[in-house]
Amino acid sequence: MRTSSAARSFVSQYAKTTALVTVAGVGLFGLKKWIAGGVCNSKARLDGKTVLITGANTGIGKETAVDMARRGARVILACRDMEKANKAAEEVKKRSGNDSVIVRKLDLASLQSIRQLAKDVLASEERLDVLINNAGIMSCPKWKTEDGFEMQFGVNHLGHFLLTNCLLDLLKKSSPSRIVNVSSLAHERGQIYFDDINQDKDYQPWRSYAQSKLANVLFTRELANRLQGTGVTAYSLHPGVIHTELGRHFWPTVPLWKRVFYMPLVFFVKNPTEGAQTTIYCAVEESLQNESGLYYRQQCPSPPTQHTDTDTKASGTHYK
């Protein structure tokens, strides 16, 4: 009783301050909810269908896998670290109640590994209904892939480019089918450096990342053009700013004073489940069946950026 009385007394004494704090709190949580975006409400089932997701052992890839499995799909987790992938597969099975979840080895920094995965999938799978190119690396040091490509461009774009093309015939055979490329808002600041594609002259981690994400969007648009009439559609998307392992190379490079500034903003960062919603939307939403080549944010199509238009024309590709 005394505690309740003291609380009422405090509220009465500091009514304006209490009201201000309450409104601010509600506003912050409302803003966080708005930034998180909506939930994919599609009830589409995927029974009898097969979904392959790269980088599905963690983050939004794993959450996407859980959703696909819950819808009844046979889910292939294509990952580099097999120990983590097997643990993720068990978690996906447990959370989804679907035991049709398998693991395949895939190192997107190795063209040989990509070709081997494609060979295994073509030999073992009768169909492939959804290919989700989710795996990626961000803001890493100047590393090279096994085949000598700059790591971010090699993994984020070239690896998925090769994988998609190796599996195109199976996707066509399984049509209507979909290709979902997880890009980023960073593509808006990107451009394709045709004269220095590996950034050997002046490597800057964020510039290279933006180039690779722009390449994802351009690839999606060209796929849409080339796959017209095949029943295979393609989508690219920005999942949002999400708390995942993707930032493991970025955060240690941030100066201490900037970390202090960034810390309050962590409150507004999406969790992996929230971050997976646009990927899931592009993979299953029925209304998108006749759409292809578009770029999505918060489950809504966004217009192409000026860079996207310019670089597509510069690369010799054209789209409507």
Active site residues per annotation: 209
User: How many other C-beta atoms can be found within 10 angstroms of the C-beta atom of residue 148?
Assistant: 8
Sign of the dihedral defined by the CA atoms of residues 179, 182, 185, 189, in that order = negative
Is 242:272 a contact under the CB 8 Å cutoff?
Answer: yes
Give the N- to C-terminal CA distance of the chain in Å, as an integer.
Answer: 70
Closest by CA to 184, choosing from 268, 64, 60, is 60
Tokens standing for residue 53:
């997701």
Angstrom distance (rounded) from CA 95 to CA 116: 30
CA angle 48, 52, 56 (to 5 degrees): 125
Count, residues in the chain: 320
Q: Which residues pair with 54 in a beta bridge?
A: 78
Q: Are 233 and 178 in contact (CB under 8 A)?
A: yes
Instruction: Let me know if 33 is exposed, middle or buried by CB neighbors in 10 A (0-12, 13-18, 19+).
Output: exposed
127 Cβ partners below 8 Å, 6+ apart? Answer: 49, 50, 170, 173, 174
Q: How far apart are CA 66 and CA 64, in angstroms?
A: 5
